Amino acid sequence: MSKEYTVDFLVDFGPDGQKLLPVVTQDSKTKEVLILSFVNKEAFEETVRSKYATYWSRSRNELWKKGLTSGDMLHIEEIRVNCEQNSFLFLVQPEGKGACHAKKEDGLPFHSCYYRKINDTGSLDHIEK
């Protein structure tokens, strides 16, 4: 059986568990991409244990359980791993008002971190109201 078809979980977080692997987080119902973040072994294991998306914050250098302070938690519905077992897809059910830490004019979070698009002039337009 080739590596691509193995049923063994062979993800490598490095000898100390600190290697960061990318995670695409997607709304399980709408399939909208919400966040691109990173996990180390500790964050991944906490996600599996708690069933809530937990990442490694590179800016704060600490574990980050999404929504723990805001209430905008992301409940794990399914975890997928890519063919090379070096990135993840978290399919989640958002709990709260949005997934992004950036806020709209009304103070509510954007549903997704991808709330802007590049227009023809190279500027950014908001796509989420």
Over residues 121-125, the mean pLDDT reads 95
| Whole-number CA gyration radius for the chain | 16
Secondary element (H or E) of residue 44: helix 41-50
Mean pLDDT of 49-58: 97
Percent of the chain with pLDDT over 90: 90
Q: Which two tokens stand for residue 13?
A: 């977080």
* pLDDT tens digit sequence for 30-47: 999 999 999 999 999 999
Confidence class of residue 88 from pLDDT cuts 50, 70 and 90? very high
- Mean pLDDT for all residues in the chain: 93
- Name the band, by pLDDT with cuts 50, 70 and 90, for residue 6: confident
Q: Which residues lie closer than 8 Å to 89 by C-beta, 6 or more apart?
A: 23, 24, 25, 26, 79, 80, 81, 82
Q: Given the structure tokens 């698009």, which residue do they identify? A: 117
Provide CATH code, domain 20-101. Answer: 3.10.20.810
pTM: 0.90
